[in-house]
Amino acid sequence: MLSSYIDSVLAARSAARSKRPALETLITRLIDTTVGPVRVHDSGSGNRCALLVPDGPNVIEHYEHLIGLLSPHLRVVCFDMPGFGHSLPLKSYNHSLDQGAFAVLGVLDDLGIEAATLAFSCANGLYAIRTAQMAPERVKSLLLSQTPSLSSMHAWTERVIPKPLRVPIVGQIAAWSLRHKAARSWYRVALPRTTDPRPYEIKATDALNCGACFSLAGVVQGLARETEASLHLHDTPVTMIWGTKDHSHKFTEPESLLACVAHAKIVYFDDCGHFPDVEQPERFSQMLMEIMARDT
């Protein structure tokens, strides 16, 4: 698709024009998957494994504290999905559910991980569900944050995402041109009014200045092509955390996830916005470890 080609070219241009390398506070490396290179941090120890994926414009560095809480107890792998952070998208990457799942499975394969718990958020949670559909033996459980049903995600897109970003090619150019402004604006909508957005903005801005990508138009358009009928999960244990102070999801029903995953358990974090995993890392890590202990 031409829109995917443009997204890839613009992301590569940003990375090539970066005036300095990314300021890594965690050791990362690039691994190759069938859908493109993915930037990964791997704590590298522990019999049990949790996969974490930042919800853009967050990047791996936003998860430093959460990783520090979890890594003494289990193996933690955190990676940027293609098109976000420093995982630059290939010209063929169109953010479909299948491609997102292939990225997840590619990480598991490269690191020699037989099975893991996936702790993904927002749209990434839909890729986690698809991964569990495609390879149920590789996914022990899902801990999702701010992930409604696909139809509710479509409705959210209509309400929140500016129309130009939903138009192929136009959206890719607009998203790239306005990526710094969009990142700053997003935190002010997604976080509780009482939360200072600046620490989040600083890390995101630093990443963008170092050539990170934020393919918002790509993921919006990619998921718009998917249908809810293809996204049902029956056996994998699923828990979803919902931050009730997320103003971007003010009109989204958390229970809509049950249309895709009827057995999902929904837990509310009443002091959180769009990012419960990094807003309340202590509480989130405790819940994740309890879920993984039950899986064992």
Percent of the chain whose predicted confidence (pLDDT) is above 90 = 88
Under DSSP, the state recorded for 253 is -
Helix ranges restricted to H, 38-96: 64-70
For residue 183, is pLDDT > 70? yes
> What does the pLDDT average to over 145-167?
93
For residue 24, is pLDDT > 70? no
Lowest average pLDDT, out of 62-66, 94-98, 134-138, 158-162, goes to: 158-162
Beta bridge partners of 97: none
Each residue of 205-218: pLDDT tens digit? 999 999 999 999 99
Please give the backbone phi and psi of residue 182, each rounded to the nearest 5 degrees, phi first. Answer: -65, -40
pLDDT given for residue 47 in this prediction: 84
pTM of the model: 0.95
Each residue of 97-113: pLDDT tens digit? 999 999 999 999 999 99
Contact 216, 85 (CB under 8 A): no
> What does the pLDDT average to over 260-270?
95
Contact 100, 15 (CB under 8 A): no
Range of the domain at 62: 2-295
Percent of the chain whose predicted confidence (pLDDT) is above 70 = 97
Each residue of 3-14: pLDDT tens digit? 999 999 989 888
User: What is the DSSP code string of 187-238?
Assistant: HHHHS-TTS--HHHHHHHHHHHHTT-EE-HHHHHHHHHT--GGG----SS-E
For residue 191, is pLDDT > 60? yes
Q: Which residues of 228-250 are buried (b: 16+ CB within 10 A; e: fewer)?
A: beebebeebbbbbbbbebbebbe
CATH code of residue 85: 3.40.50.1820
pLDDT given for residue 21 in this prediction: 57
Indicate the number of domains in the chain: 1
